Amino acid sequence: MTTTLTREQARRIAVRAQLLDAHRPSSLVQTVDQLTLLQIDPTKAIAPSADLVAWSRLGDAYDHSDLTFALEQERSLVEFSSFVFPMDEIETVLALAPGRIHPTAVEWVGANAKFRRRILDRLRADGALVAGEIEDTSEVPWASSGWTNDKSVLRMLELLNRMGDVAVAGRRGKLRTWDLAERVYPADLQLPSVADAADVEIGRRLASLGIARPGRKDSTGGEVVGAGDTGVACTVTGVDGEWRVDPEALAALEDGFAPRAALLSPFDRLVYDRDRALDLFGFEYVLEMYKPAAKRRWGYFALPILHGDRLVGKLDAKADHKKGVLNVFAVHEDVAWTAETGDAVEAEIEALAAWLGVEVTHP
């Protein structure tokens, strides 16, 4: 039997699953465990995306040093292929990663067997290093049309990371340090089968989203955002097609919903699947940092604005830490806001500025 949900119920399931209702999580590790991952992106128009995602859940209880401590000291979290994962889930991640490497990259690693061995020997002898400290002795240099062209050491390290040979040990400023995987990951790793790992991944994905379409990729053709055939089959009133809902999230509808306002990273998983955001929230969004300024509707790094179970607008702002200000260029209202919504959003903007250690200004 297929369950039928109203759009409001579907939105509330999605918001609660992403820890964006009024019941805030108690720790960074608990947050990442529920979200399953934090995406790393270098853009710092306001703050790095991973920090924004954590702050939007934890509030001023979160500090960037918490992430560094969890990654480099406590080892409760781990950086892997542009994401932060719970260390408890690294077995699942490692089991699936090799199968997601492009065949041409696998062939390139095979053609550089001596180069690969020399890198591993160097890390074994000298410990964690940044890519620039390792000599490029590749037999076949890496070639691409992108930013990795001729960066053979970095590319080899990234591929060895996905193959489970090396791990990100920490960072020196913006640069990753690399070490042997055995020095970073738990000593008692036991990788599951690919099939079992895929089942775990898709189940955790649905739990983190609450509700999702069956298996598919996002609208840009990148990350898998669907739920496959896991969870409970459902339909959403007024929205075409089938959905899957996490059974625990479905049962939690009986507990009521506690709303709040939140400012979201453009990479936040509540809005990452743009088609899902449009279907459930009626929310149109495009990250416009790659557009010419004259063609932007909402701003370079506009933050989606959540109030209750609705995505209600975008915040166009930029932090200037040298001047100690958060420049608010525009607050775009997708719908007419009530006074309550306006007050809640303004309070959240002030909270963001306080967390950044700056003052709000409107140029």
pLDDT in tens, 205-241: 999 999 999 976 554 445 778 899 999 999 999 999 9
* Residue 363 forms part of a structural domain: no
Residue from 107, 163, 180 nearest 139 by CA? 107
pLDDT by residue (tens digit) across 284-335? 999 999 999 999 999 999 999 999 999 999 999 999 999 999 999 999 999 9
Give the whole-angstrom CA distance, residue 123 versus residue 129. 7
Instruction: Indicate the pairing of strand 232-236 with strand 239-245.
Output: antiparallel
State how many domains the chain has.
Answer: 1
Do 263 and 348 form a contact (C-beta atoms < 8 A)?
yes
* Residue 125 forms part of a structural domain: yes
The DSSP symbol for 237 reads T
In angstroms, the Cα distances linking 34 to 17, 19, 85, 269 are 8, 8, 10, 12
The tokens describing 280, both together, are 């459930």
Give the whole-angstrom CA distance, residue 216 versus residue 105. 24
* Residue 52 forms part of a structural domain: no
* Residue 152 forms part of a structural domain: yes
* Residue 121 forms part of a structural domain: yes
Q: Which CATH number belongs to the domain containing residue 139 in this structure? A: 1.10.10.10
Residue from 349, 214, 266 nearest 39 by CA? 266
Give the whole-angstrom CA distance, residue 217 versus residue 213. 10
* Residue 104 forms part of a structural domain: yes
Give the whole-angstrom CA distance, residue 101 versus residue 86. 21
Amino acid at 120: L
Q: Which range of residues forms the domain containing residue 125? A: 98-183
The tokens describing 311, both together, are 């995505």
pTM of the model: 0.95
DSSP bridge partners of 217 = 224
Do 134 and 177 form a contact (C-beta atoms < 8 A)?
no
**Residue ranges of the chain with pLDDT lower than 70?**
145-149, 216-222
- Which pLDDT score is estimated for 218? 52
Amino acid at 202: I
CA 146 to chain centre: 23
* Residue 148 forms part of a structural domain: yes
* Residue 6 forms part of a structural domain: no
